[in-house]
Chain A
Amino acid sequence: MSKGDTAANTLQQHLQQLSDAFALRLQEELPALGQSAERLLQTADPQEQVQQLQSLRDQLHKLAGTAGTFGFSSLGQRARELELDADQWLHTLQQEQQGLQAFSHSLQLLAKQEFQSDPKQMPAPQKAPLTKPMQSTRRIYILEDQLAIGENMRQTLNNFGYQAEHFSRIAELDAALQQQLPDALIVDVNLPDESLTGLQYAAGLQERLAEPLPLLVITTQNDFATHLEAVRVGAMGFFTKPVDIPQLENRLERCFSQQQGEPYRVLVIDDDRELASRFSLILRGANMRVEMLYEPAEIFARMRDFNPEVILLDVNMPDCTGPELAQIIRMNDEWLRVPIIYLSAETDINRQMSALIKAGDDFVTKPISDNALVAAVFSRAQRARLLSNALSRDSLTGLLKHADIKEQAAVELERALRSGKPASVGMLDIDFFKKVNDNYGHAAGDNVIRALANLLRQRLRRIDSLGRYGGEEFLVVLPDCTAEQAWGVLDEIRQRFAELTFIASGSEFSVTLSAGVASTADTSNSASELLEKADQALYAAKHGGRNQVR
C-alpha cells in the first residue's frame, strides 16, 4: 500500500467517524423537530406561531445544508422541500399579521389623537398650518425603568416636537419595536428588574437590525468601562443622571443632522455627453444631485440657478478649455468657495500641474473607478459645505448669523411684495438671561441658548429661516404667514420653552422668553423698518411683564 493510499484511507476513516457522529445527532434532532411541528399546531398566539415557524424553517435549512455533506442526501432533499414550504407558510402568516397590525396601529393612532386634542385646543389659534407634517416628526423610544424619570423625559422631548414614547420594561419596548422602528433609542443602563443591562439589550438589538439605530445612553455609572461598552454598542451620546434633557436633545439633533444632510449638488461639465451621463449616473447612485452642462457659455446661468457645491470639469473641450473655464468661474467672488475638480485622460504630471496652477483644486484621471470618483467628489463636497456653514452659521446654535438672517428678512419681504402673500418676522429674547449666566455659569447659559435654537428648529417649518440675532436674541423669518399665525406659533414655542427644565450644578431651573411679531402686511417699506417694528413689539412684551408674545 502506498503512502498516498494510507493518507486517503485515514481521511475516509475520519469522514466515516464524523458521519457516524452526525447519525447519532440526527437521532436526537429529528424527534425534536417532530415535537416542534406538533407544538406549532397547538399554538394559538399568532405571533408565537410565526416565531416557531421561523425557527422550524431555520432548522430545516441547516439540515438541508448538512445532511448531504455526510451522505444523507435524500434526507437533505426532503428537508429542503419542507424548508420551502415553511417559508411560504411564514410569508402567508406574516402578511396576515401585518395587515392586522396595520389595522391595530391605525386604531391606536386614532385613540391617541383623540386623547391629545384636549390640551391643544387651549393655546395658540391658527397654528395648524405652521406645524410640521406628521411624517417629519422624529420618533424616539425611551427605555427607563424609573417611571418618573422616563415620563419626564418623554414630556420634555415632546415639548421639543419629537414623538417620544417611554417604556419601563424590555418586553414592552420589544413589542413596540416589532410594530415600528424609532428614529433613535434612549436606553438606561441599570435595569435591576431585568436579566440584561440596558447596554446588553441594546447590543443584541443592534445586531438584529440591518442598520444600527442612533443610540443614546443614560446611566448613574460614569466610569470608563461603561463609556467603552456604550461606544461598542454604537452609542452616540452618554448622559449621567440626573439627565440634562435639553443637552440630550441637542445631541439628538446633531445625530439627525449628520444622518440626513441634503444631497450634495454637483455640476458635471463635459462636451462628451455619454461620459457626462455616466459620471452623473454614478454620482446620483451615491445620493448626490447632479446636473450636466455641455455648453461652457451657459456657465453663468447654471451657476446661479443650480448653485453647485462641486464642479467636475473636463480639461479638453473644443471651444473653451477646462482651465480657461475654471479661471472664468474664479473671477467671480461668490463662486470662490466651489471646488473645481478636473477630469482628464491627461497623465502627464507637468500638464496637470500647469492646469492646477491656473485654477482648480484637484485632478482625477479618466478612466476612473466608480468608487474613486465618488470619493473624490464626496470629500470635496463635504468640506465645501462644512466651510460654507462655518462661515455663515453661528457656532453655538448652528443658526444663521446676524447679517445672514437680516439678509433673509429682506429677501422674504421682497418675495412677499411680489407674491402678495404676507410674511412675518419674530424677534425673540430670553428673559433675565444674565441671571442664568450669573447663577449657573456660562456653560448653563450656552445650554439654554442651544435649547431654544433646537426648539425653534423643531417647531418651525423648513421654509422658515432662523438666526441668532444677538447674544440671547433670535430672529425668525416666516414666509407666507400672517401676523396672527406667527403669533400663534411663537406663543406655542414660548409655552414649550417655559416648560423645559434645565439642570446645572445640581439644581434645576426654568427660563422664559419674550417675543415680538411684525408682518409685511403692516410695514412693507423696508426690511429694517420691519425689524424695527418687531423690536418695538418685543420691547412692549418685556415691559408688559415678560414671558409673552406681542
Chain B
Amino acid sequence: MPDLQRILHVEDDPSIQAVAKIALEAVGGFQVLSCSSGQDALDQLQGFAPDFILLDVMMPNMDGPQTLARIARLIDINHVPVVFMTAKVQPAEIAHYRSLGARDVIIKPFDPMQLAAQVRKIWSQVHE
C-alpha cells in the first residue's frame, strides 16, 4: 500500500479548518494543506500534489460537488481519493455523492481524535 502523506483539506469555516489540521497533523502525522474555498483548492492542487482530499460539501460560490467535478478534470481521482465532509446523513445523499466520484463521506460533526483513523481506514480500503 502506498504511503499516505499529504492531505488537502477544503473547508470555508476557519474553526473547523483549524481543528481538522491539528487533528490530522498531531494525531495522524500527516502533512495538511488547508484551503478556504473550492477555487483556492484548485489553485493549490497541482503544486501540493495531495495523496488524499477532504472536501466540505456546503461552501459559498463553488460547493463541494462542483469543486470535485473540477478536481476530477485535473487529476485522477481513482488514485487520489476525494472524501466529502458533511452534516447531511441521508443514505440517498451519500449514494449521490458516491455517484459523483466521492470515495466516501465523513459525517460532521467529527471527533477530532478519530479523524485521522477514519482517513486511514478509507485509504486502506482504496488500496486493498
Interface of A with B (CB < 8 Å)?
A: 7, 10-11, 14-15, 18, 21-22, 25, 58, 61-62, 64-70, 73, 76, 80, 83, 204, 207
Contacts and interface: CB of A to CB of B under 8 A. Distances in A.
A69 B87 contact: no
B61 A207 contact: yes
Interface stretch (B18-26, B46-54, B91-99, B117-125): B18-26
A66 B15 contact: yes
Contacts of A66: 13, 15-16, 108-109
Contacts of B109: 64-69, 73, 76
Given A18-B19, A25-B15, A65-B86, A10 B112 contact: no
15 contacts: A11-B22, A15-B19, A15-B112, A18-B15, A61-B87, A62-B58, A64-B87, A65-B86, A65-B108, A66-B109, A69-B16, A69-B109, A69-B110, A83-B87, A207-B61
Interface of B: 13, 15-16, 18-19, 22-23, 26-27, 58, 61-62, 66, 85-88, 108-112
Contacts of B22: 11, 14-15, 18
B105 to A, nearest CB: 12
Contacts of B112: 15, 69
Contact of B15 (A10, A70, A76, A83): A70
Contacts of A76: 109
Nearest to A83: B87
Given A15-B19, A66-B108, A68-B109, 8 more contacts: A11-B26, A18-B15, A25-B15, A58-B58, A61-B58, A65-B87, A66-B16, A83-B87
A11 B19 CA distance: 10
Contact of A68 (B13, B88, B108): B108
Nearest to A204: B61
Contacts of A62: 13, 58, 87
Please report whether the interface of chain B is mostly helix, strand, loop or mixed according to DSSP.
Answer: mixed
Contacts of A69: 16, 19, 108-112
Contacts of A207: 61-62, 66
Among B13, B109, B111, max chain A CB count under 10 A is at B109
Nearest to B27: A11
A70 B19 contact: yes
Contacts of A22: 15
Nearest to A7: B26
A15 B23 CA distance: 8
A81 to B, nearest CB: 12
Nearest to B107: A65
A7 B26 CA distance: 8
A21 B15 contact: yes
Nearest to B109: A68
Contacts of A64: 87, 108-109
A61 B108 CA distance: 10
Contacts of B87: 61-62, 64-65, 80, 83
A34 B22 CA distance: 31
A303 to B, nearest CB: 37
A15 B58 CA distance: 24
Contacts of B61: 204, 207
A70 B87 CA distance: 14
A18 B13 CA distance: 13
- 10 tightest Cβ-Cβ pairs between the two chains A and B: A68-B109, A65-B108, A65-B87, A69-B109, A11-B26, A64-B87, A18-B19, A22-B15, A14-B22, A66-B16
A367 B43 CA distance: 38
A10 B27 CA distance: 11
Contacts of B27: 11
B98 to A, nearest CB: 16
B64 to A, nearest CB: 12
Contacts of B15: 18, 21-22, 25, 66, 70
B29 to A, nearest CB: 10
A445 to B, nearest CB: 41
Contacts of A61: 58, 87-88
A227 to B, nearest CB: 21
A318 B109 CA distance: 61
A276 B8 CA distance: 43
Nearest to A25: B15
Contacts of A70: 15, 19
B16 A65 contact: yes
Give the residue among B13, B15, B86 with the most A Cβ atoms within 10 A.
Answer: B15
Contacts of A21: 15
Contacts of B110: 68-69
A204 B61 CA distance: 8
A10 B111 CA distance: 17
A76 B89 CA distance: 14
